[in-house]
Each structure stands twice: as structure tokens, then as C-alpha cells.
Structure 1
Amino acid sequence: MSGLLLCIGLLVIYPYYQYFVDPDATAYLTISRRYAADDFARAVNGYWSPWSCWLTALGIKTGLAAFPAAIIANALGALCFLFVSHSLFILFAIERRLQWALNSALAGFLLYATFKQTFDDLWECVFLLTSLRVMLSAGYLHRPRLWVLNGVIGVLAYFAKAYAFPFFILNTVCCSYFLSRLEDEKGNGWIKASVFPVVVMIVCSSWWIYLLYNKYGIITTSTAGTLNTSWYLVGHPLWADGIKALVPPIYHDSPYYWEDPYLVNGDTPHFWNGLRLFLLQIVKAGFNLLKMVKSMGEISAFMLATWILAWGVLFASRLRMVFDRKLRVLTLSFLLFPLGFVLINFEARYIWYMLPLSMVLGALAIQRFRENMGGYAKIVAAVFALSYLVWPIWDMKGMANEGRTEHQTAKKLKALNVNGSFTANVVYGPQMPAVARLAYFSGCRYYNMPHSDVPKQQLLQEMRRYRVKYYFHYQPNIDGNDFQFRDEAGVPFPEVSQGRLSGLKVFLVNP
């Protein structure tokens, strides 16, 4: 029933979110188109995971436009997320009425999640939750078929998002060990149940790792971890030699460099490269823990409480006696998952895996302590379920119709015969997603200007160096409607926008 509600909801709200293409999606959609066009050499990418791109490419090959194909693929992930979460609710004997409330709330949350992050996160959660569910199956430690199945699921999780590679290994080993202790297994039999799935996962993903090696010349499961941890530590990328005021797109038909940032990145300093960076990493880690609390609050007001409860279930003897023994395995996975994000910028979508696990913990606590709540038990249960919808409803209000302006502007640019490359008076910040969307919708190649203090002369030199055709000037009202973009001699470049673009002027620099 909740799956049907999710599908109907997606159809109803799609018109309001059909242009919500964030910077990440511009890269994913471009890569998906490359796969659909059999352009495999350029489609292989170490920064953006391939699973959702493959699914979207299949949709494109059937005749769908790229974004609807991506939403359909992500909606399928949302349905699978709902299914595996329900399986956990049943496994831990959540009461039927509470199951209905949680499934309904989860359907509403997934309605939001499908558009909030069009690629990777939902599918990663699906496969990792399925892996956890397999390990919680009866007799897992003695069923080699389940080990193989778990390893295959681990491969899919890695293809969905690179973070799953290290987490799957850690989670499988730790959960297998805990299961052996819970079942009073003697000896090291649990090692087979943990090592075998990991070997299957590594062997089955080796072909992809080889493709990454063939493209980048390094043995890696992903370039995302190296880049993200370095960028967050020093606060900005360090560009490759030769890159000055403008960062060029990766390929001649890339929207901008974000399609594969590793190819324009230079050094990647990390905390082990010096004492100053080591101390800075400690400060950043502490700040990230605070951001983790914030991210938990964006999922549910009860998320932090369930996180504290998880620690109690794992380490407090009184709570261990109250709950099912297998719940300790779930709580272990719940607590392990966010550890890797301590080194990078924290976002709520990174920990969606924890959402259904927190529902299980909260629902079991409500059931166990219902008598202590008296007549308020039903109210507490309802508030608990509804808490997962507060932030999605709030955030979806801001997301509604986002990108529509850029889509309409792109149409006007095409009508004005504006095509080719451009740069703009926008640096990384709130307006960056709008420029990225405009580049994607218009088909124009965006040369990103990462620094706001670039001297005019240097900017013009860079535009001539790369033969950048247009200069886009946003918010001309700040400078007055008479703003002109001029060369070194003070001669204005011709304006081709003809006053037809609201909040934007376009100047032809290199015909």
C-alpha cells in the first residue's frame, strides 16, 4: 500500500520538480548519456558511481529523456528501500499498526529523497540494508550460499556508491563476529562468514577497478574519497598545473569540469602530510560530529535519541536484557555507518542508511515501554512516525520549481543563437547550482571561475587562451542596467542578450 502511495505521489509532484538538476546531477546525467551512446571510454568515471548511470542509460536507450529516466531509476530504488525496510520491521516484530505508520512516513520521506538526490544514495542504502538483512537471516554463519549472496550484494552496493566498499568490509566483519558471540559460537568459524563475502565482492568488482586504473593510472576504488577528504581539509581544491583563472570542462561536450574533477585537480594534501594538517583534521572532525547531529535532526527529531539508545543496547547490560539479542547487530551497523564521514563535509543524505534502522530502534522502544507512557503511547508513536516528514516537507517547499528559470533561460539562449562556451561572474556558492543547470539545459560549456578576485586583464587573457565565446553577467541590476563588459582598451563587447534575459546579460567576447 505504501509503495502504491509512493508511486502516485511521484506522478503527482513530478511537474513541480522536473527541473531540479543539481550540480551532481549534471555530471551523472552527462555520464548516463555517454553510456547510452556507447561512449564507454569517457563514461567510465572514478568520482561518480556507475550503478544509477547504467540504469538511467537503459531508460535513455528506450527513448526516454535523461532526467525522467533518472527519476524512474531512482524511484525503483525508493521502492526497494521501502521493501527492505518493511522486511526489517517484520523481522524485529514491529506491531502491525506501528508498521503501517512507519511505512507511510517512510513513503513520504522517499518521495522527497527521490528528487533530493537523483543518483547513488538511495541505491547504496538499498543494497547495504539488504546485506544487513541477509546477515540477520537464520543460520547465516553456517550457510555459504548466503555468504556468496552477501558478497554479490556488496558489489552492487559499491557500484551504487563508492563509500559502500570500505563500509561493506567493516560491517560484514563486525556483524559476523557479533553474530558468533550472540550464538555462542566457539572458535573462528565467523571468519569464513566474513572473509568469503568480502573476497567475492573484491573479485567481482575487480574489472571496474581495472577500468579506473586504465583511465587514471592509479589503483583505486574511487577518486571521490581522496578528493573529498583533501578538499574539505584545506577548504578548496588545488588545481592542476596550467589552470589559472578558469577551470575548463573535461571534454568538448561536458557541461563543466564537475563531470570528472580528478582530471583537473592537482595535489591532494591529507592530514598525514604534516603536523598542521593533522591538527586541522582533528578540528574538522570535531566540527563534523556537530554537523552529524544536525544531519540527524534533518532526518528526525528522534534520531539523536535512537543513536543514544543504540549505544545503550550495545553496551548497557540492563538494556541488552530488554531487547532481542539480534538487535545488537543492527545497532552495531547503525553506529558504524557514519564513521567514515567524520573526515568530510556531513550531509543528511549521507546517512539515509540509518533511517530505517532508527525506526526499528524507536518502534521497539515504544513497544517495550508502552506501559510507562500510559495513555500517551499512541500519541508518541504517531509523533515518532510523523517526525520523519517534518524536514522533507519543509525542504520540498524550497525545491519546488527550482531550475525552471534556468530551463526557460536556456530556451531563450537557443532562440538568440547563443551556443558554445561561456564563463560567468559566479564563484562557488549559492548561485553555482543555477549556473550548472543553465550549462546543462543550454548545452553550452561552462568555464568555471573559482576565484572572485580575478583581475579583468587576466580573465580576458584566459578567455582568449581557451577561446571562451561568451561572458555571462548575473544580477546586472547591481551595476545598473547600463553595465557593459569591456576589453583592455575600454571598448565594450557586443551584448547579444538584447535585454530579453531577466537578471542576466550575455556578451560576445570571442566570435
Structure 2
Amino acid sequence: MDKVNHRFILALLIYLILGIATLFLLKDYQYPLNPDAISYICISQKYVSGDFSNAINGYWGPLFSWLLVPFAFFGSKPLQLVYLSEILSFIIGFFTLLGVRLLSYKFEIEEKIRTVLMFLMVVSVIYFWLRSVFADLLLLCVLIYYLNLIFSRKYQNNVIYGVGCGILGAMAYFSKSYALPFFVTSYLLFNFVYYINGISRKEKKKILKNFLLGLIVFFTISGIWIGIISHKYDEFTFGTTGDYNQKLVGPDYQGQHLIYSELLKPPNKAAISAWEDPTFIKMNSWDPLKLWNYQLNLIWENFKDTINIYLSFSFLSIIIIFMAILMYVRQPKDQILRRNILYPLLAIGLYTAGYLLILVEDRYLWIVYILLLLMGSYLLTFLFKNPFFNNKRKNIFLVAFILLFSVTFAVNFVGAINGTPNAEGVYQLSQTLKNEYNVHGNIASNDQWRKSLYIAYFTGSKYYGQTGKNISSSDLEGELKKNNIDFYIVWGISGNSSIPNGYKEVTGGKIPDLKVYSLKSY
């Protein structure tokens, strides 16, 4: 085993040691949780119990829930499932590192720089899975393997690569529905680039064959799921996430979720909250073609957010993109530049463009972070070929590269991890409410939507959501009765004048900043 492999194995060992330490020793980070995670967990439970009609979901990609099903046999209690989900994410992170290693060899990168890249990736991937945004890490992992195939020099001459792209494209779609338009457009674009640059007719024929095989495999596999969810919602759809988010950012809501301002019934008897399938939340549609000025302003705001996200990855992000474009424009026919510059730039541009139309968040663009790191590593390798760079100067620039690509990211790392709630504290509160005060059934709250959802999850209750701010006593009573609410949770208020008379506070003030009102006699 050579020295290069030793370094990579060391990076993997560090990931395993840090990951295991986090999962088993660092109590504050053992149970990070968010509402999306609860939805994936609850959907997986439905598959385990055989409730397939309610498990089928057009909003949440099914792949993570499918992968979680075998883990459910090791524990079915709510807190155990949160922990098992983190273990699954940790495993996905391991395969993500392997994928980045493979993808890095599609770039002309000096081995010393590649080693630094992999150690940077160890910290990055740990950050990704500690965020508990399961589908985004899973999608990142699958896309890395897809790009590894489509960037390969062997792609044009081997039909297995076309079939592999189709399979990985379907897996990406099963992770998040956004992957479907990205796969189709990127696969079409890359094959077009290969085709027009094909030297012989025979080579072009192979490229066309690969392209068609990849699409056939992709639509054969993904078409099954498209048919299933289209049947459930009585309309053709490959996913409802985009439609929901498009309504959300429209003029009526401007990014404000209804779940924070009104009570919403869970979509089925087995669901914990309306967030388990937001498809059924009734929202007003809008037409971007008729409100073109609004759409243009939305794109502009998303563009500014995207630039800020790129800069949050590293101060070097914009410089890398600018230098890459400049290098390619000067030598557009250079094969090495095409693979190291053009292909990742096309992938970054296509992947980002779709989010500009609706909504963008940093976790959506993790694949961009990886590609920026790889392009930056290539540019550094190219720079080091200049005789000016002796070993001392190379080391100085390499240290600067590491710092500039890690300082900003490290700050965001700490902020995001500290901002991710630990489920164990909420779990203990939930057990107190359940066992000592018999909190169960249908619950609602005045505030703290997320924490209230976690309480519902851990108590086996149904959470109808958060009432509007400044609601009158009579309106509040009407809303609670209309939705057959059993318990109303009031956060951070010692005395609330809007609470209707006759509702009994069950905790007796024993829990700081929390009151729970019983609406019924038990």
C-alpha cells in the first residue's frame, strides 16, 4: 500500500473516530433534530408498519426513509429512531468521502493538495450530517458518484457508464425531487458537449447510445415512483416540493409558512403534523408570467443570497469561479481545462439556476461547495507549475488556501451546530408532560412551533400547529374547539389574557416558561 493510500486511510480513520466520538461520547450532539428529520422518520415507520398508502409522499423524497427501514429493527422508540437516523447519516457521510476521493481523480490535482482536500472534507462531512438534513446529505452523496461517472474519460466508450448514470440519476431523484430536472438537463448538456467534440462518427454513435441508455434506465426506474405519487394526488407530478415552495415565496406569503400562523390538521390519521405532507396545505397559487416584476425581483434576491452562500463556503469562491472562467476562455479547446474547468462550471451553473427561480439555502448547494474545492485544488496545482513556486512558497500558499477555505466555513459550522437543537432535552420535557400531566391527543401551541412538534413526536400526540399572534380569546376558543384540541401549550407567558376561561392549567407552574392548558376532562 503506497503512501498516498495511507494518507487517505488516515483521513477516513479520523472521520470514523470523530464520528463515533460524536455519536457515543458527546452528549450534546447525539440527538440533533429538526422538523424535516421527524417527517423522514415517521414515513419510515409507516413503511415498517405496512401503512404504504400514507407512506407514499410527494413532498419528501423516499430514499432516506427506505434506507432507514432496516435500522428500525434495532429500535422503534422515538428517541432511538432519531439516534439511528444519525447513524445512517454518518454512514452516508463515509460513502460521501469515498465518492469525493474518486471524483478528485477526475481533476488534475497534485497529491499533496489532494491530501489536504480530503482532510478538509472530513470536517465538512461531519458538519453536513450533524445538521440533520438527511435528504441533502444523501443527495450530495449520490450526485458525487453521478458526476464521477459523467466527468470520466471512459464515459464515451463504455455503456456501463450510461447505465450507471441512469441508476444514480434515479437515486438522486428518490433523494430529492429537484434532482430530476437537474439530472435531465445536465445529462443532456454533457452528452451534447461530448457529441459535438466527438472525433469520429463511431465515437459519436457510442455517445448517443450511452445517452439513450442512461435516459431509458433513469425514466424506467423513476417513472415507477412518478406514477405512484401521481396516482395518489390525482394529477401528474414528479414531486410536490417545488409547487409548495413556489406558492410559499409568492406575493401572498413571501416566505412565511402557514404552519406558524394557523392550526392545520395532519394529512392522515397516522401523521403527527401537517408538515409530514405539506402537499395538502391549501395555499394560493400565483403566475410568474403575470407577475413578472415580482419574479424578477425574487430571482435577484435569490441571486444575492446565492453569492452570500458561496462566500460562506469560502472567501475564495468567487475568485475561483472568475479565474476558472478566465482560464477556459483563453484556451477553450484545451482538453484538460475542459474537464477541470468547463464541466464543473456547467454543473455549478445548472444546479444553482433552478434554485434562483424559487428559493435557495446553503444546504441546497453543498455539491457546489465540493466542486469549488476541487476546482480550487486544480487551480492551485496549475499555479504551482510555475518555477516561481519553490517548496517554501508552495507551503505558504497551501496554508493560505486551507485557511481561506476553512475559516469562514468553521464559523458557520460552529453557529449551525450550536443552533441545532438536541432532542434529548426536549425528550425529557416530553416524558414529564406525558407521564406526570397526561399530555396526549391533539395539541396546539401559541409559539415555539418546532419544539412543540418535537413534544408531539415524543409523546405520540398530534400537533395541529401554532395559533396566530394577538388572537382574541373568543377566536382562540373557536379555533381550538374546531380542531378538537386536547391540550394547548403556552410558551414564555406567565399570564395570557387570551386564554379562555374554564381551561385548566395542568402543570401548576412547575415548569419554567411553560403552561399547558387542558381543554377537556380526563
Fold agreement, TM-score > 0.5: yes
The reply on whether 1:494 has 2:504 as its aligned counterpart is yes
CA positional deviation for 1:365 = 1.0
Structure 2 length normalisation: TM-score? 0.88
The reply on whether 1:155 has 2:209 as its aligned counterpart is no
* Distance in 2 between residues matched to 1:402 and 1:238, nearest whole Å: 23
State the aligned residue count: 493
* Distance in 2 between residues matched to 1:22 and 1:324, nearest whole Å: 41
For the residue of structure 2 that corresponds to 1:101, the secondary structure is: helix
The reply on whether 1:425 has 2:446 as its aligned counterpart is yes
* Distance in 1 between residues matched to 2:498 and 2:472, nearest whole Å: 13
Alignment of 1:294-443 (within 5 A): 294-314=308-328, 316-318=329-331, 321=334, 323-327=336-340, 328-370=342-384, 371=386, 375-386=392-403, 387-388=405-406, 389-399=409-419, 402-416=422-436, 417-426=438-447, 431-443=448-460
Q: 1:226 is matched with which residue?
A: 243
* Distance in 2 between residues matched to 1:144 and 1:218, nearest whole Å: 35
* Distance in 1 between residues matched to 2:458 and 2:397, nearest whole Å: 46
Q: Give the alignment's Cα RMSD to 1 decimal.
A: 2.5
Q: 1:48 aligns with which of 53, 60, 73?
A: 60
Query: Residue deviations 1:83-142, cap 9 Å, x none?
Result: 111112223232222111111110111111002134111221222221221122334223
The amino acid of 1:28's aligned partner reads Y
Greater mean deviation of Cα atoms: 323-332 or 96-105:
323-332
CA contact (8 A) 2:445 2:490 kept: yes
The amino acid of 2:42's aligned partner reads T
For the residue of structure 2 that corresponds to 1:326, the secondary structure is: helix
The reply on whether 1:279 has 2:293 as its aligned counterpart is yes
Q: 1:67 is matched with which residue?
A: 82
Segments of 5+ residues of structure 1 without an aligned counterpart are none
CA contact (8 A) 1:484 1:492 kept: no
CA contact (8 A) 1:101 1:382 kept: no
CA contact (8 A) 1:154 1:164 kept: yes
CA contact (8 A) 1:237 1:265 kept: no
* Distance in 1 between residues matched to 2:269 and 2:511, nearest whole Å: 26
CA contact (8 A) 1:313 1:331 kept: no
The amino acid of 1:497's aligned partner reads T
* Distance in 2 between residues matched to 1:125 and 1:36, nearest whole Å: 26
* Distance in 1 between residues matched to 2:163 and 2:502, nearest whole Å: 67
CA contact (8 A) 1:29 1:66 kept: yes
Q: 1:4 is matched with which residue?
A: 13
* Distance in 2 between residues matched to 1:406 and 1:63, nearest whole Å: 19
Query: Residue deviations 1:200-227, cap 9 Å, x none?
Result: 2111111111110121111111000111
The reply on whether 1:448 has 2:462 as its aligned counterpart is no
CA contact (8 A) 1:245 1:458 kept: no
Distance of aligned partners of 1:200 and 1:91 in 2 relative to their CA distance in 1, 3 Å threshold:
same
- Percent identity, aligned pairs only, is 22
The amino acid of 2:44's aligned partner reads S
The reply on whether 1:31 has 2:13 as its aligned counterpart is no
CA contact (8 A) 1:464 1:510 kept: no
Segments of 5+ residues of structure 2 without an aligned counterpart are 1-8
CA positional deviation for 1:295 = 1.2
* Distance in 2 between residues matched to 1:258 and 1:251, nearest whole Å: 11
CA contact (8 A) 2:33 2:420 kept: no
CA contact (8 A) 1:239 1:265 kept: no
CA contact (8 A) 2:226 2:237 kept: yes
CA contact (8 A) 2:140 2:367 kept: yes
